[in-house]
Structure 1
Amino acid sequence: MTQRKIALFVTCLVDMMRPRIGFAAIRALEAAGCDVVVPEGQTCCGQPAFNSGDTEHAIALAKQTIVALEPYEAVVVPSGSCGGTIRCHYPELFEHDPEWLPRAQAVASRTWEIMAYLDEICGWKPEGVEVMAKATYHDSCSGLRELGVKAQPRRLLKPIAGLELTPLAGEETCCGFGGTFCVKYPAISNAIVGEKADAIEATGADLLLAGDLGCLMNMAGKLNRQGSKVRAFHAIELIAGMGNGPAIGEEA
């Protein structure tokens, strides 16, 4: 079988706050038969600047990212928000730039959220993974609404022995993070995540899973402040067989 040569776009939050998500992504992709490269030229995708209206810096970061990623057959991202920025908003940024628009469109067309890529393109499922726990799943806004990531992570989680998935009321409702939203409107953000934390607790789950680290940090932080015993993980950590380490917020 010919290996797919793909670029892993790690994302800023994963790199700085939860590198094990990046290692889990590599582990799962390699198990699915991919030749994974982490391009050195990658930094931020430019989403915070783009969302804040700082188009100049968003374009500069987008150009740097395009140059780093365009040599590869596919770009895989363990984040719906960063994946959505590259796939949906890069062509928008270069709409009036005849030189960069085709390059942006080409990279965008090859960019995938990691669980969608493993499920839809690789047709892969985890084998020999066991997690004896009850979990619930939150659908992050960008992954769900921009990239259509919904069933794919659940299909990848289903083969995990011992894992019971229980529905989360309002699973498609924003957790209140929203990138810069939580900084600009902290009181509203806190109220939203408070409702989300209550819904998570009501499931009786041991684990909270999602596909975006920003959302997970926001929800885990609120749960921890409320004294909850629910532990948060990026879904790819469990799928890659790395769900036995410290949860988000528990790192030393």
Structure 2
Amino acid sequence: MMYEEKLLTVARYLEGDMEPQEKQQFETLLQSDQELQDLLDAYKNVHQTLKMKIAPSQEDKDVEATLTSFGKQYFKQGAIPDTAKDAKVISLSSYMKWISVAAILIVGLFVWAPWNTDLYERYGISKEMSVVERGDGNKNNIEKAADLYNAGDFDAAGKILEKEYLADTANSLVAYYYGITLIETNKADEARRILIGLYAGKSVFKYEAAYYIGLSYLKQNNHAQALEWLEKIPQGSPVYEKAQELIKKIR
């Protein structure tokens, strides 16, 4: 099933425009199709964001005509997608309605790309910053940064880690987690400069750094660069399996 056809099918499913047999077939397919599951979640998010409306203005008529033309790029007039062949035949006008909806959502998904953020969150490997704490109860700056990082306050953690990094750029643990806080606070260019330095050296974080460089590009919807960095991670490295999973999601 082509991507656009999947999106159309998801739209019709969530809007209650399927016959019972087709709905059952869709739900069976949904259980084993991760891309379909992701589109289902994405549709819900974007549909709510766009707050689509129908109004009889000339502007709306122009948009409708544009969307209808857009939809015809994917479906020949009178054709019914394979998933509906065994279901009740639905009129062309009904399909054109959902092609228009799908077209709007294709644009919405392209602009907002909500699954990129979802994938970034889902495939983040360093959810916690682990440091060896002293037993005297007096925390040093790195320990304080770790507490803030683990609480999700990346801005505050980053400010502490920035000072520590500037004081000792050879500290790979500080550089690695500082880079991640920069990605989290949307300072990807600066983050990549630091993480590329780790990747170019012999740090224990070498391939984790490459992984997060890939994630930083994914977060910006730059799939080509994300793939390029994820593919640098060799088999046998701790993050290889995770990187391979993510590569399949992006492609």
Tell me which interval the TM-score lies in, with the shorter structure as reference length: under 0.3
TM-score (normalizing by structure 1): 0.23
More helix by share: 2
More strand by share: 1
TM-score (normalizing by structure 2): 0.23
Higher relative contact order by CA 8 Å / sep ≥ 6: 1 or 2? 1
Larger Rg: 2
